[in-house]
Amino acid sequence: MKGTITGDILKAKASEIWSLLPQYKDLPEPKWSNGWLEGWKKRHNVKQYVNHGEAGTADIDNPDNIQTMEENRKLISEYPPNDVLNMDESGLFWKLLLNKTLAIESGSGGKKTKDRVTIVLTVNATGSDKIEPWIISKSKEPRCFKNINRRLLGVQYRYNKTKWMTGLIC
């Protein structure tokens, strides 16, 4: 897939073209609503296609998972909110394209890029204590940090070949 087109991109382009056409100079610009977009897509036979790929979700309806969450909530309730911390990690696939596009026909997808870093954020329950974010990547000495004092960046940098949080890093 060469590029991704969204409804917002089409609306922005319509606004840009409207402002360039002299016959519309003295007319008020349309609102470029979702209704306008749906009509435009219907007139030009444009449909939304999903670029199929990998996916994963948490099984929140599993009775074992529900019970575990209830046990965790009970345990946490014994501590003041300032002492309850939540750490969460998220993968940032910084080269990944959107998985939906607007087109007149379905096209072939491509292999999704796996270039990623892991971002780890930690905060207490009141939001008053935010710990420096962690960035986990694969290189010990990334080129982008050359001649940069990492201590001044406001993040903790860690590395391993999988770019994931591990027990050793944590």
Report the domain count for the chain: 1
Q: Is residue 24 part of a domain?
A: no
Q: What is the pLDDT of residue 40?
A: 92
Split the chain (170 residues) into runs of 10 and give each run's mean pLDDT. Answer: 77 93 92 93 85 61 89 93 92 77 73 82 93 90 85 88 80
12 lies in a domain? no
Question: Is residue 37 assigned to a domain?
Answer: no
Full domain range(s) for residue 152:
45-159
What is this structure's pTM? 0.53
User: What one-letter code names the amino acid at 103?
Assistant: A
Task: Report yes or no on 10 lying in a domain.
Answer: no
Residue 57, pLDDT score: 61
Per-residue burial over 122-154, b = 16 or more CB atoms within 10 Å of its CB, e = otherwise? eebeeeeeeeeebbbbeeeeeeeeeeeeeeeee
CB 115 within 8 A of CB 22: no
CA neighbor of 115 nearest in space, from 148, 137, 141: 137
Q: What is the pLDDT of residue 55?
A: 47
Tell me, yes or no, whether 169 lies in a domain. no
